[in-house]
């Protein structure tokens, strides 16, 4: 007879690889970024996913499946723009 095993207080958090699907161009960009960061593709992608989960899975301001292309310039990083209430 099978039963549901009890929950454990200490569970080993093993590293695991899994597959994702992305366009070839994205795959190549990630490979290049991994090389520039002195790591491999699996480790870089795992780090990005872990950071995203730890941040609460934010949408990064995107609505739907893909970010919308905006014709307006990005917000200014100038302290003056923020002090003078730009964009209100």
State the pTM of this model.
0.56
The domain total for the chain is 1
29: in domain? yes
55: in domain? yes
- What mean pLDDT is predicted for residues 81-87? 51
Q: Give, in order, the Cα–Cα distances in Å from 78 to each of 51, 75, 84.
A: 27, 9, 10
pLDDT at 2: 80
Domain holding 48, by residue range, is: 18-59
80: in domain? no
Q: Is the dihedral of CA 16, 21, 25, 26 positive or negative?
A: negative
pLDDT exceeds 70 at position 75: no
Using pLDDT thresholds of 50, 70 and 90, give the confidence band for residue 52: very high
pLDDT at 35: 97
């Amino acid at each position: 007879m099978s039963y549901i095993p009890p929950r454990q207080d200490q569970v080993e958090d093993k590293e695991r690889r899994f597959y994702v699907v992305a366009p070839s161009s994205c795959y190549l960009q990630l490979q290049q970024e991994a090389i520039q960061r002195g790591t491999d593709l699996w480790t870089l992608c795992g780090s990005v996913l872990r950071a995203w989960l730890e941040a609460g899975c934010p949408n990064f301001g995107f609505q739907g499946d893909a970010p919308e292309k905006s014709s307006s310039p990005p917000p200014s990083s100038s302290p003056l723009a923020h002090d003078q209430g730009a964009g209100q």
